[in-house]
A and B are shown apart, each in its own frame.
Chain A
């Protein structure tokens, strides 16, 4: 607790804030016993900002808009705190969350997303203060104090409850998004967007370890009861009775499969065989997974001064990478644009570039930073899937100049320094876009 304080503030400040915390904590506990719900700012928002600036900006951005440098790569996107819309709550439909809700989300993280649990990394005071700071980012916490939901009596898990829950699953049409089996099979709606027009997946109900808000019956109950603000997941308060929602929670948890870390060898083999079969059925989905996990967009998109991918330029290329002394390698436009992207490349030409670093005009790429050596180890199915997905990326016109070798004497001088004088030449990465749409 004091260790984290010591990083940025004087110990005296820490003690003062700590003392203020104790007073405020007592005050909040007192009021909450009276009103049942609180949205009071219980921590020091000023110290919260210090914690926020150190730990949260990379994803949530300087102003809390969920637009930090890493944000364009993440699904789901980081929360936009200025909207006051929160998924994981124990408060009425579209209310803001309670302090406790936010403290819990920060402490345990959001499973199935990039948000880690900060308990153990930050002190309780740090977490409480950062929550206080988040609550200053929208007037909603002051203007619209939340009403906490009081859940009805929990229904313990039993075969009867599960089979009743199954009927509720049908009645509430859960299958239209989550599928007949909880993992999307025969779902009617498959491509979702959140309120910020970002792509979203319906939760795979057979993988409870990915449930953002946790996987106890109580956690799952609250997702039905309160809805998940900002997403298509509605609140079923009013549509279903409290008992029905508890039964549904038990049913959803009964769909769980074993995670790979608890499996026996035949189960692992089954899982991997099933994944391979699904990849063959839907190569675009598999290709998207591979592209998202293989760094492509990190270099093949223009970035701003903070290293954030420029909006609307995903995979449009144009980042300048200077490989001293070998030359300039602007990253290629990988969108399906016919003129400036991959639209007119054949599958074979793409495979030569991805796995051997040979462009269609015969230009050779050095073994770094384009990692064709690593990609050459991909299975043929995976390589085809990557290409299938690349073909679906919306076209963005951005004419990127071809790789350029330096002036010959400079090149030889660079090589001389590297090979004879033993200098360690750098790879230099520049922000901006050397492509035709938008200068550096």
Chain B
């Protein structure tokens, strides 16, 4: 009887350890779930444009939506949580980048008046996409904000992106300004990206 109990206890402990190991191994299930488990919510999160009354603006915004979705803006301008991007806060920013020039948090691209792109003129937004030059004249590395690719968009496609960004749902999400360089996780690296938690400040 005593022996039986002992065996049962050992079995349970072994099962728990194996189960915990399997949990660690398979979560998040990148390598076992269908790829659409990850891609579909990401792409569906981009708000539609059917509510735009003006038909020309609607067609242009639809093009902009396609460019924003396939261009992968959400990859960096997501609001990260430990469970993955918070798609309800689409393009509200908050992932963190380190390079030798400083620490940068991805910006809030929603048209919020105090923390988002509503503060920026059309010219200022287009200049970042075309030239990587921020409103204060700072030049951003093409590897942080990949303007080296977006500069190859035609002016008309960049305009479509702008129209779509202006149409997003405004979200209050304060992003800190760039700060001086912090030691990189690995000094040999050119850059390091942290996207497991939100480095911005949400509305209180």
Contacts and interface: CB of A to CB of B under 8 A. Distances in A.
Interface of A: 4, 54-58, 69-70, 73-75, 109, 112, 114-116, 118, 121-122, 207, 209-210, 259-261, 263-265, 267-269, 271-272, 289, 292-295, 297-298, 303, 305, 307, 322, 324, 326, 355-358, 364, 366-369, 371-378, 382, 411-412, 415-416, 418-419, 422-431
A69 B145 CA distance: 13
B43 A116 contact: no
A426 B35 contact: no
Given A294-B149, A374-B75, A429-B191, A416 B24 contact: yes
A345 to B, nearest CB: 18
A300 to B, nearest CB: 12
A425 B194 CA distance: 7
B74 interface: yes
24 contacts: A69-B141, A73-B151, A116-B130, A116-B133, A121-B136, A259-B159, A268-B56, A293-B157, A307-B141, A307-B143, A326-B30, A358-B35, A367-B39, A376-B43, A377-B39, A377-B69, A378-B70, A411-B25, A416-B24, A422-B82, A424-B196, A427-B193, A427-B194, A430-B190
Given A272-B63, A424-B196, A429-B190, A74 B27 contact: no
Given A294-B71, A366-B30, A368-B195, A431 B190 contact: yes
A295 B146 contact: yes
Would you list the 6 A-B pairs with minimal beta carbon distance, nearest first? A424-B196, A373-B39, A265-B55, A73-B148, A374-B72, A70-B142
Interface stretch (B3-11, B112-120, B170-178, B181-189): B181-189
B59 A272 contact: yes
Please indicate which of the listed interface residues A261, A297, A298, A375 has the most CB atoms of chain B within 10 Å of its own CB. Answer: A261
Contact of B133 (A121, A412, A418): A121
Contacts of A264: 56
Given A260-B156, A298-B146, A298-B148, A374 B197 contact: no
Contacts of A416: 24
A366 B82 CA distance: 16
A109 B130 CA distance: 11
B88 interface: no
Nearest to A415: B24
A364 B30 contact: yes
B30 A412 contact: no
Nearest to B34: A356
Contacts of A326: 30
A430 B71 contact: no
A260 B42 CA distance: 28
Contacts of A424: 82, 194-197
A292 B39 CA distance: 22
Please indicate which of the listed interface residues B35, B54, B185 has the most CB atoms of chain A within 10 Å of its own CB. Answer: B35
A429 B189 contact: yes
A374 to B, nearest CB: 4
Contacts of B160: 260
A364 B31 contact: yes
A367 B75 CA distance: 9
B196 A430 contact: no
Contacts of A423: 196
Contacts of A293: 67, 71, 149-150, 152-153, 157
A431 B36 CA distance: 31
Given A357-B35, A358-B35, A294 B72 contact: yes
A121 B25 contact: no
Contacts of A425: 194, 196
B35 A303 contact: no
A121 B35 contact: no
A264 B67 CA distance: 21
Contact of A121 (B69, B137, B151, B154): B137
A374 B142 contact: no
A55 B137 contact: yes
Contact of A415 (B27, B36, B139): B27
Contact of A210 (B27, B71, B155): B155
